[in-house]
Structure 1
Amino acid sequence: MRNSIPPLLLQLDRDQQCYDFIKWHLVTGKPSNPFYRIALNHRRKFEGSYVLEEPYLDSRWCQYNPHLVATSLLLKLKLLVDLINVRRVRKVLGTRLLPELTLYVEEAIVRSPLSLAFCRKDDVGLQDLQHTLLRHIKLHCHTREIMSTCFLEAILGGLWYDSTVHYHDPQASPAQASLYIDVAGAAWHQTEGVLELLCAAQKSAMKDRETETEYRTGHRRFRTHPVPGSGLNWNDIERLHWEDSLVRLWDYLEFEVVDAQSISTQRPSTLHRQQLLAEWLTYERTDGGPEASWVAGREVYDGREGDVVDFSEPGILAVGDDGENVDDDADGDDATGECWRVECDC
């Protein structure tokens, strides 16, 4: 019953009461604590707690309340989505409307009552709030319970989550994940923008998925076929890719937040990825040199299946798709064979 109350409060947009309840139980600790019942009687001193305060994530208590930690993460993501919407409205409207009308639009698009305070802050204040929320989200996701791959898959998969799947993550607890999604799955799916943001971050993580998989399995880089003698079949490799993207999606979340706020035709994360690729290729050509398994003629694989780097023109890096095994996405990548071109100092 205790774990089902915070998701219900979030669905009712009673976010302050939700945070007070979560903090109240996280601070009091586990039920076996001799002072647990005494602390429960002091509920009023937790009322009106500051949501953006430093999160209380003591590992001694979080392991007894993983569901409350996950719901606290949902609350932070809900506030982050409202913040993204406010900043995007300001970029779209700019100075076209009177400040009073702009404030009216901003207050109309946010869902959480706590987000109404965001509308009265300037751009610098919103930027500081964004950094604070992202830092709190990373603190939540780096707890052992939230970093579990089955917990993340239960959140993203929702009602279609299969607890019988074998997980390579030693921290995975399918039973806990199934129990949590039963009580909080509706809250995650009814909070607009949260799952879309996480899925976009996971999709970005899938683009560079093989490096982490190779590190976990201890094998050399494999592309479309399992390594002979590795003991892995194609389904195992795809499963490892999927689990790795779940673990790494938090590292890509900040880029997706910037993309969601951008009104440009090209995503900032794409430009950033091209810049990193150019720097990496410059380093490989001047200092280390790519491994033989990465080079085929004048084409160097950049780590994403289907993407190659063409050195046919000096001083120009062209990252193109070969038209195979490429998923269409919103960042402009498609299977037409067209290339993104970026200048570099080679």
Structure 2
Amino acid sequence: MTWRHARWSADHPLPIGVVERTAVGQAVNAGDVIAAGMALGTAIRLKGARRLGLQTADMERELRVPVGSEVSAGTLLARTGRRFPRTLTAPIDGRLLHLTADGDVYVAPIVGRWIVRSTLDGAVTRSDDAGVTVEGEAWCIEAAAAYGPDAIGELTLGVNAPMEDLAPSRLDVRLGGRIMIGGARVSAEVLTRAHACGVSGLVAGGAPVAGLRVVYGESLTASGHAGREDRPTVICLIAFGGAALPAAIFGPLAALAGSRAAIHTASARLFVFAPADAGVFATDELDLALAPDYASVRALVAETVNGEVTFPSEVRAGAVRQGDLVVPSANVRAFHAKR
């Protein structure tokens, strides 16, 4: 877990129903729409060639609307004859979905529309119906987990110190469209209030699991959840519960406030679009230790190994000391170590 300015790649999976997407090689900025589509309901099958008295091979030629087009109820789909015409019209608003080998057509109602926005400034390196990949340069920090849809906005400082929790009273509609830096912890109340005020996303050291379950459901996992539902977006930089941000993490966040930023929830990354010389932010990887209250973790900086120590539980074990904090060595893990 550290800041790096480099060239990054962001994959954007696409749902079923792609209508348009950005071509490979096209330059995009974070927030630009790179794909759009629609969600369809149960399709209706219409007799085509048999109704019009056509050979199945001739049905495609007689269609007045290309397959894949959006149609309104009553739209003329096909017609034959002059004096005694036979017609085929759309029974509902929807999309002309498919022409079968038997000459029948399917029309499906449109039940929703979706768009996917880029989370990087750069160029499209892959574009197909499965997903769009964008590559570009940015400052980035990889987090423990992220939840909600991707978020893009101006990075804004919401706390005065890394130990502070973001208070609900600091959020209002004037912060709509921004990504707020929330300090050590964001609660479920902060998440819901931020979403109601139009805040694009929240960045914090951690968030209580119980609060996350209230917002994102009981199926929540520690690996994060990248969805498109109308829910708030939060990225937990260190862990769950409360986790005070170390100076090596909070300092660059505060310095980069005011820059455009994006949260890519699928990879749990925070991208900040600032020049490479914006500051000397890159550091060595930090180690994490389970805090004494066992409700959170904290980053260790300049720790020293003390050998064996007798703990209050009368267990004697190897220990790591940082200031007044003494923790068992077994409770210390590198951030990217397997869990």
In the superposition, the TM-score normalised over structure 1's length comes to: 0.22
Higher-helix-fraction structure: 1
Structure with the greater relative contact order (CA < 8 A, sep ≥ 6): 1 or 2? 2
Larger radius of gyration: 2
Higher-strand-fraction structure: 2
